[in-house]
Structure 1
Amino acid sequence: MTNQTTAAPKGRFGSSRKSISVSKDSLVRVDPLAEGSRAVMCAPTVAGLDAREWLSSSGDTLARLRAEHGAVLLRGFTPLDAAGLAELATALTGGLRDYDNRSTPRQRVDGNVFTSTEYPPDQTIPAHNEMSYTASWPSTLFLTCLVPAAEGGETPVADSARVHSRLPAETRERFERDGVMYVRNFGHGLDLSWQEVFQTEDRDEVDAYCANNGIQVEWLGGERLRTRHVVQATITSRATGERVWFNQAHLFHVSSLPEGVRRELLESFAEDELPRNAMYGDGSPLDPEHLAQIRAAYDAEEIALPWRTGDVMIVDNEQFSHGRRPYSGARKVLVAMA
């Protein structure tokens, strides 16, 4: 089989993208995921190819694609179940991590493979880098679609370096100087319980975890707990050396909620008692204009393809964010974190 390359179409900013080369014995075609995007799609040139077999026979091809392009969609391979996804992810990265310091409801399916966030289907999950509200995050995400939605339900991805570059310098500088403070209040029954977030019933274990991870803890009586955590707003991607936008300020902020829910919460709670909220790292309120700029940058960079049964998306969590669009019908997507 001859060496294969894809053409190099013009990027959305006018520059040509590099050709993508794969080895001469490759059984996989590699194409851009969308015009002007670094992300790519890999599709087998023969029927019945298992992604795990391709990984084992193609050397560092998949690892190179992940590092160079940030997001890789595997489409047309033999579908994987939860155990198969774990095998693929472990073979590529060496191991999976648990979902600790949780932020959203998920169910454990098999080992460290989980359902994707189980928010109601009519809700949008804004673009975010996984666990960027912490100081310790997974480097790579693996998602696979077992059942695509009847309509909608895409998992958009966005280039975090491009999001960063779209923001005004003044906005970037404010966030980079102060970081982001995430404030969470547990015990109201309106969000995850602290027992679910920290996966324990033992308050001493919560205290120890938070102390080890720089999280401020305040027990308020009964089951009520307040945590504050100041972490990064941007980081330097380990794969590319680029500065990338890397936080969930716009997602945690009360303004991300549907208008009716937001109004009811603000009528019931002081801002520091909301189930979750975000501020600048110095504790001052986020500027609504900054939040609007962040959301606009994500909207401008998002790429969304409808899921197909058996699709696997591999995402460098520092290079690309992801989200979820509303959907109808059944939808089942699994996720593993490396």
Structure 2
Amino acid sequence: MGVAVGFTVRPLLPEQGRLPLLVEAGDHDTSLLDVFDELKALVDEHLLRDGGILFRGFRLEGAEQFRQFAASFGHPLLNYEFGSTPRTNVTQGVYTSTEYPAHQHIPLHNEQAYSRDWPMKIWFYSMIAAKSGGQTPIADSREVYRKVPAHIRERFVSKGLMYVRNFGNGLDVSWEDVFNTEDPQEVEAYCKAHGITCEWKDDGELRTRQVCQAVAEHPVTGDKVWFNQAHLFHISNLPPEVRESLLDIVDEEDLPRNVYYGDGSPIEDDVLDEIRAVLEDCKISFLWQEGDVMMLDNMLAAHARAPFEGPRKVIVAMAEGHSLDQA
């Protein structure tokens, strides 16, 4: 596609379309920060069309330089608030990717699409590439929207989705970690401000409910995107033996996480199976190289994680908070 200031620009996997666009350094001594102005011009030109850009072969020295790179795009980096998975803060605004065991697969999803507030931009930095596996597959959320059967899409849009979460009890992340506070009043204030219903249960733990979007419209491009985590939150996402064990321990209403239609009625397993099949069909996968940085428009591109062997370290930054209520 072209060469500019010592790097090439082309689709990484042209047979699968333009996502992700590869920007590759001609000289591995080129610092990602030193050519930021040129790279930002490329991002401004391509990100909204292609959904994601992979920077490869550039020099980047550690988490702090990664933070500087992500923050240079003009929006303060976001804290991981109302998160759904365990992460560790690396430096200000930079976190580990989800700390699930290496053998587990994390399905495709858009970051924080289970809420009414989400980051518009997300960056991934591959500091240590796994010996095998460990990809961060991605997918075009516009394509997912188009491929979800119309009758499912219409049902999801008309009903919306209600996410129910029960924190703590050794089954999921604690509310203290999720809300970054030990003060229940701060939790209640956050929930009130974000349209989340919260209740303190008899055991002192917290349950939240929030009705959210199933699809969304990109505020800049106007594109309709599939934008939810129903397939991930629903109990059918768990292996059958795990599901049965959990339901032996707790009632359905006390599951760590589950999702219903917005009116509280159950979502059919076969509907979610169809959605998962669409996501699988749209999945784009490539192996990380150490030093790779990927930038996604979080509404236009979903991401996942493949199982892996050996050490792996991918860190993440997010920016440009957007709210459904401001759309």
TM-score (norm 1): 0.91
Aligned residues: 317
Confirm or deny that 1:101 pairs with 2:82.
yes
SS of aligned partner of 2:279: helix
Contact 1:55 1:92 (C-alpha < 8 Å) held by counterparts: no
**2:285 aligned to 291, 304, 309, which one?**
304
User: Deviations 1:95-116 (Å, cap 9, x if unpaired)?
Assistant: 2111000110000000110000
Confirm or deny that 1:27 pairs with 2:20.
no
- How is 1:157-168 mapped onto 2 (pairs within 5 angstroms)? 157-168=138-149
- How is 1:1-338 mapped onto 2 (pairs within 5 angstroms)? 6=1, 25-34=4-13, 35-39=15-19, 40-57=21-38, 60-338=41-319
SS of aligned partner of 1:303: coil
Q: CA shift at 1:79, angstroms?
A: 2.9
1: CA distance, partners of 2:96 / 2:205? 27
Long gaps (5+) in structure 1 = 1-5, 7-20
Letter in 1 for 2:98: T
Contact 1:148 1:331 (C-alpha < 8 Å) held by counterparts: yes
Contact 1:28 1:45 (C-alpha < 8 Å) held by counterparts: yes
Long gaps (5+) in structure 2 = 320-327
Contact 1:68 1:239 (C-alpha < 8 Å) held by counterparts: no
User: Deviations 1:10-64 (Å, cap 9, x if unpaired)?
Assistant: xxxxxxxxxxx66xx5322111122232211110123311122222245622222
Which 10-residue stretch deviates more, 25-34 or 287-296? 25-34
Which 10-residue stretch deviates more, 149-158 or 270-279? 270-279
Letter in 1 for 2:18: R
Q: CA shift at 1:193, angstroms?
A: 0.6
Contact 1:70 1:315 (C-alpha < 8 Å) held by counterparts: yes
SS of aligned partner of 1:138: strand
2: CA distance, partners of 1:59 / 1:167? 33
1: CA distance, partners of 2:289 / 2:28? 16
Structure 1 136/59 Cα, relative in aligned 2: closer, same or farther at 3 Å?
Answer: closer
Structure 1 157/93 Cα, relative in aligned 2: closer, same or farther at 3 Å?
Answer: farther
Contact 1:154 1:307 (C-alpha < 8 Å) held by counterparts: yes
Letter in 2 for 1:85: F
Identical positions, percent: 44
Contact 1:142 1:335 (C-alpha < 8 Å) held by counterparts: yes
Letter in 2 for 1:315: L
SS of aligned partner of 2:118: coil
Q: CA shift at 1:276, angstroms?
A: 0.5
TM-score (norm 2): 0.94
1: CA distance, partners of 2:167 / 2:155? 29
2: CA distance, partners of 1:267 / 1:101? 27
Contact 2:27 2:58 (C-alpha < 8 Å) held by counterparts: no
Segments ≥4 residues shifted beyond 3 Å: none
1: CA distance, partners of 2:271 / 2:203? 37
Cα RMSD, aligned residues only: 1.4
